[in-house]
Structure 1
Amino acid sequence: MKSARRPEVRLPALEPYGGGELEPDGDYDGLEFRETDLAGQDGAGARFMDCALTGCALDGTRLHHARLLDSVLTGIRGVGTQLAESTLRDVELVDARLGGTQLHGAVLERVVVRGGKIDYLNLRQARLRDVVFESCVLVEPDFGGARLERVEFVDCALRSADLTAATLTDVDLRGASELTLAAGVDRLAGAVISAGQLLDLAPVLAGQLGIRVEG
């Protein structure tokens, strides 16, 4: 079982973001976005490198094909944030409050998601490598068709996850404080679970195998 490699983000001295709306294909380097309202703005294809986003609103923000590199996002919040086919590399996401975030087709590499709660996270067809979900709550995350390699869930609630057609390699679920699957129990090959989790999943596994349990 190979462990996930965590990001080592060391931000340089940052310049405050000067305001104004995000620009498609914009280039943001060494900036601090603090309590910035980015709701509804279009930063599709933009690159954020060595940036800190703290307490920002991202409701409906369009960041399709964006690249977030060597950056820390703390206390961000938003519903329907569009990050489809984006790249997150060496990123820390801390205490986020997000709903319906679109990350389908995205690439996540050396990412830590720590604290916070994310509802209805769409990671369909995404590629996750060296990703750690830690002390957070994920409600109905969709990993349909995704590829997960060296992914760890540490003290993390994973509620009604969908693993349909997902591929798991060195995925450690033992640290999940809650683990329930809505679909895709047959895709757990390549994952490690605890004995207690096996008991919790037994009814779903029995159903998958066509076993009737009585008495």
Structure 2
Amino acid sequence: MGPMARNSRSDGGGGKGVVAAARRPEVRLPPLVPYDGEGLEPDGDYDGVRFEGVDLADGAGPGARFMDCALEGCGLDRTKLVRARFIDSVLTGVRGVGTDLAGASLRDVEVVDARLGGVQLHGAVLERVHVRGGKIDYLNLRKARLTDVVFEGCVLSEPDFGDAQLVRVEFRDCVLKRADFSSARMDAVDLRTAAELDIARGVERLAGAVISPLQLMELAPAFAAQIGVRVEA
């Protein structure tokens, strides 16, 4: 098992003010028009559209652009949205397995109560994104760039942040299970209020992150092993 730490609700030795807070999205949707149901299109342009309860399983919209859109209760099983762009949009209660968002761009986006598995976001760019509630299994963020991203009150099971760049990223009341931070680069990443912090790989890549005193104690064996220190009674 990898090292695991639980939330201590402590501000840490340096105080909360030393960590730059993530800037959150401020999405204000205009009046929306219902989706016409004609299917996703490659490089499609969706502006001010409400997708409500739409099953987009096995759909393909590579390069599509979603601006000022709402996706509510939509099915995204195996939906191909490679290099898609989501701007000033809200995704609520979306669900699916194998959604392909490789190389996608999410800017000023809220993701609420998602139930997803095997989501491909490798090489994606996330800027001012708030993921709140829900559960995401096997989230692939390898080589992604995350700036001003907040994971709050959600469960991330075996997320892969390998070789990703994280700047001003917060994990608030968020459960991280078997996380992989191999070769990740961090700047102002706040893990202190994570409800559970279970790191399978890459504990040595936490430079640039802030953790709580209790988390430090529980991760100490992993840190010691990383530098070759044996701890014996």
* Bigger strand share: 1
Choose which of 88, 95, 98 in structure 1 pairs with 2:106.
88
From 32, 43, 58, the counterpart of 1:25: 43
Paired residue secondary structure (1:198)? helix
Using the TM superposition, give the Cα deviation of residue 89 of structure 1 relative to its aligned residue in structure 2, in angstroms: 0.2
Residues 184-208 of structure 1 deviation map (CA, whole Å, 9 limit, x = unaligned): 1111000000011111211211211
- Quote how far apart the aligned CAs of 1:159 are: 1.0
Question: Once the two structures are superposed, what CA deviation does each residue of 1:117-140 show, in whole Å capped at 9, x if it has no partner?
Answer: 000000000000000000000011
How does 1:91-130 map onto structure 2 within 5 Å? 91-130=109-148
Deviation, structure 1 residue 214:
2.1
* Unaligned runs of at least 5 residues, structure 1: none
Q: How far is 1:39 from its partner?
A: 0.4
Alignment of 1:131-150 (within 5 A): 131-150=149-168
* Cα shift at 1:213: 2.0
Q: Which amino acid aligns with 2:36?
A: G
C-alpha distance in structure 2 between counterparts of 1:174 and 1:28, whole Å:
38
Provide, for residues 143-198 of structure 1, a one-character-per-residue CA deviation record: whole Å limited to 9, x for no partner: 00000000001000011111111000000000101001111111100000001111
The corresponding residue for 2:79 is 61
- After superposition, give the CA deviation of every residue in 1:85-117 in whole Å (9 maximum; x if it has no partner): 000000000000000100000000000000000
What letter is aligned with 1:103? L
TM-score (norm 2): 0.91
Cα distance in 2, alignment partners of residues 57 and 169 from structure 1 = 34
Distance in 2 of aligned mates of 1:17 and 1:175: 39
Q: Deviations for 1:20-74, whole angstroms, at most 9, x for unmatched residues?
A: 2100100000000001000000011000000000000000000000000000000
Are 1:4 and 2:22 matched, yes or no? yes
Structure 1 stretches (4+) deviating beyond 4 angstroms? none
Distance in 2 between the 1:211 and 1:177 partners? 28
Structure 2 Cα separation of the partners of residues 82 and 200 of structure 1: 35
Paired with 2:39 and 2:21, the residues of 1 have a C-alpha distance of 40
* Matched letter for residue 86 of structure 1: A
Q: Distance in 2 between matches of 1:208 and 1:39?
A: 43
1-structure distance, mates of 2:198, 2:219: 7
- In structure 2, distance between residues paired with 1:171 and 1:179: 13
Identity of aligned residues (%): 69
Equivalent residue number for residue 64 of structure 2: 46
- Counterpart CA distance in 2 for 1:197 and 1:30 is 44
Tell me if the contact between 1:180 and 1:201 (Cα under 8 Å) persists in the aligned partners.
Answer: no
Q: In the alignment, does 2:59 pair up with 1:79?
A: no
Which residue matches 2:11? none
2:200 pairs, out of 165, 175, 182, with 182
- Structure 2 unaligned blocks of 5 or more: 1-18
The two structures have a TM-score, normalised by structure 1, of 0.99
- The CA RMSD over aligned residues, in Å, is 0.6
